[in-house]
Each structure stands twice: as structure tokens, then as C-alpha cells.
Homo-oligomer: A and B are copies of this chain.
């Protein structure tokens, strides 16, 4: 059968700085899903899009075409309003774990389709899989039943949602075309719109440990996604949040589950609590449940109750001991003073190298591996005091993990700076929400 368009014409149009027509976009996404447009052609187009950009109309159409490549879910039969959250990913970002049960405890239904980690940022599913028995794959029916019964579900996205995005995401990962705001925005929003949530809160990270290093890029991504969601009838808000320092005091799978449990028990690091509550309030406001105070639901144990039911509904044992790494190794402070900086990227890379993350899709991860932080920026430290503890089952990994922390640039720069400054508030307490983008 002859095709309506030619892939090379479309690549050339974007390469030369032109706009793609709606029917060109519809065709190229559909033809790529059908394997008529080859991977090498889509890779060239993705690079041209990264370097030439897409305008708002093109991004909206690209997103719609990816949604149309698969099925759409429908939560309208649920008795509760639905609210979802997406984070662009950061080091120590375990927020989904306390947030989903917390928002469900406040009366919303939270259908959280999540992914696995790649590179230095961890994946929510990898973290939950540290819980003995817990499984990420649910059928659509199981998911709906759990949402109705428990109010919260965190599971793997089925292959039926935006299959074009699934294919394109894997391609972008190996072709240096991840960091394109139009491609990032359409990838995230096609899945979230196809998922059928009524409200969506976006956590757009910015800083050394985030995907986007510059505030203006984070703002552009946030604005693009809020516009896409709003145009598709989803109440969408974005928070731009800091990721120069790891979130909380752990990076790693079981380590982060343990820290999330502290938050659900009413404790936990102040920055994790602050961000969890900020996102919960946005999700509740977007679903009209803003008369509920999520802080109370943490304090009164109802969020923890939902967590236990949510874990159990997916086969996990909420009372089981979490895996611990076989070996640990401390990294100590090399001076007295105030910890002025502790680089998120370096900690993320160290956790990855210890076995908490994967270099390629499909690789296993270690449940117990990761990094525990004993100080955050603003804390006073003494020479010889442990700054970090490295955890792994495979101690031959310590050397490369340590070098990510002690030599971040190939010239011996450490991931931390200890200075003479007055001790300030601990980094745990620093304002983590930088900006807010609304429709």
C-alpha cells in the first residue's frame, strides 16, 4: 500500500526549520508505530526536533497522535475524583510512595502509572519492588478494582497506552535526543492524558541532579505541559522544585521505602515532608477536595493505613523486613565546617554504580544498594565524621561509586564543599518549591 507521506520530506522540513503540518505529524507517528518509518528515520527527526524545536500547535498534535496510537483509560465510573502526579525525576525522589496513599486518604483516587529507573535517577517501581512479594503489573480490571477499594494504585503502565511513546522513548534514550522540551512534554503528557486522570500535578525538577539544569528550561517544560493538559481537559498544575541536593537522606530502592515509611509514620526528613504536602495540596485543590488537610492524615495514621492496604493489594507484605545490602562503607568529612553543598548528581551516580540503578533497560537492580546521607547542606560537620554511607551487595563496586563522589569532574573535585560559613538551616528545611505554573 502506498503511503500518504514520505519520511524524508518530513525530516527535511523540520531540519530546515519549518513547521510540520497536522497530517504530517499524524502520519509520522502512526507510520513509526507500524514500523513503516524506520528507527533511523525517527532518530534523525528527533534530533532535528531537538535542535529546531516545535511550536505549540505541533507539540499538541504530536501528543494527540501519540495518544491515538493506543487505548485510553476511563475512570469516570469511580465514585471519587482522580488525581495523578508526575515527577521529571531526581535523586532520592521517593515522593510518590507517601503521596499516593496520603492523597487517597484525603478522598481522591490516585491512579499512578509509573516507570522503572534508567541512569542516575531511580524508578518508583524499582523502589516498591524492594518490598517482598509486591508486583508492578496489574490488569486494567485489577487496577480499577484497587482504585475503588483502596483509593491508590502504583503500577506499571500497560503496553496499550501510547505505544508510539513507548517506542520513541526507548529510541530517544540511545540517540541523545532525550533533552528536547517538545519531546519530553509530549512523552509525559501523552501517557497521562491517555491514562484518563481528571487532575494532574507535575513536579518539574531543576538542578544538578535533575534532567533540566536551568530554571528557564524547567519553566518552559512546565508551561508546555500545563498547556497540553489543560487543552486536553485535564486540570493541570506544575510545581518547579529544587534538585541540587538529594531529596531526603537516602537514594536507593529499599532505603527510600524505609524513609517513606518514616514520613507515613509522621516523621521523616523535612524536605520530603514539605514536598509531599505541597504536591498533595495541589492534587486536592485540583480535585475540589481542598477542605482536607493532608498533614492531619499523616499525623492520624490514615495515610499509613492506605499504604498498607495498597501494598497488600499488590501482593506485598507491609510487615516484611526490607532487604539490606550485604556491605557498607562510610565516606567521612575531610574538614571541620559547614556543609555548603552536596551534589545530587554525584550521589545519584554513586547509588547507580552501587547497584541501585541500571545502565540499560531490563537490567536487574539491587534492592538494598544505595547511599545514606548523614548531613545535608547547612549542617555543621567535623573532620572524620561520616558524611555518607555506601550500601551494596557487591563490594567491588565501592571504588567506582566513591570516585563519583570524590572526583566529579576528572580533576579531583569532590561532590561536597565544607566551608567556614555560619551553619544555617539544614538543607532538609530549605524551600524546595521554587515556582508554580498554573493554566
Residues of A within 8 A of B (CB): 7-8, 11-12, 15, 38-48, 50-52, 171, 174-177
Q: Beyond A15-B51, A15-B176, A48-B47, is A40–B8 a contact (Cβ under 8 Å)?
A: no
B11 touches A176 (CB 8 A): yes
Least Cβ distance of A164 to chain B in Å? 15
Q: Which residue of B lies closest to A180 (CB)?
A: B15
Least Cβ distance of A238 to chain B in Å? 26
Least Cβ distance of A337 to chain B in Å? 35
Instruction: Please indicate the chain B residues that have their CB under 8 angstroms from the CB of A46 in the complex.
Output: 44
6 A–B contacts, CB within 8 A, in A order = A41-B174, A44-B47, A45-B176, A47-B48, A47-B51, A48-B51
A175 touches B43 (CB 8 A): yes
A44-B180 Cα distance, complex, nearest whole Å = 13
A12-B180 Cα distance, complex, nearest whole Å = 12
A231-B216 Cα distance, complex, nearest whole Å = 45
Instruction: Please indicate the chain B residues that have their CB under 8 angstroms from the CB of A48 in the complex.
Output: 47, 51, 176
Q: Which residue of B lies closest to A50 (CB)?
A: B15
Instruction: Please indicate the chain B residues that have their CB under 8 angstroms from the CB of A177 in the complex.
Output: 15, 44
Option from B40, B50, B171, B175 in Cβ contact (under 8 Å) with A174: B40
Option from B12, B50, B175 in Cβ contact (under 8 Å) with A40: B175
Instruction: Please indicate the chain B residues that have their CB under 8 angstroms from the CB of A51 in the complex.
Output: 15, 47-48, 51-52
> Which of A43, A50, A51: most chain B CB closer than 10 A?
A43
> Which of A15, A42, A46: most chain B CB closer than 10 A?
A15
Q: Which residue of B lies closest to A359 (CB)?
A: B6
Q: Which residue of B lies closest to A176 (CB)?
A: B11
Instruction: Please indicate the chain B residues that have their CB under 8 angstroms from the CB of A40 in the complex.
Output: 39-40, 42-43, 171, 174-175
A177-B15 Cα distance, complex, nearest whole Å = 9
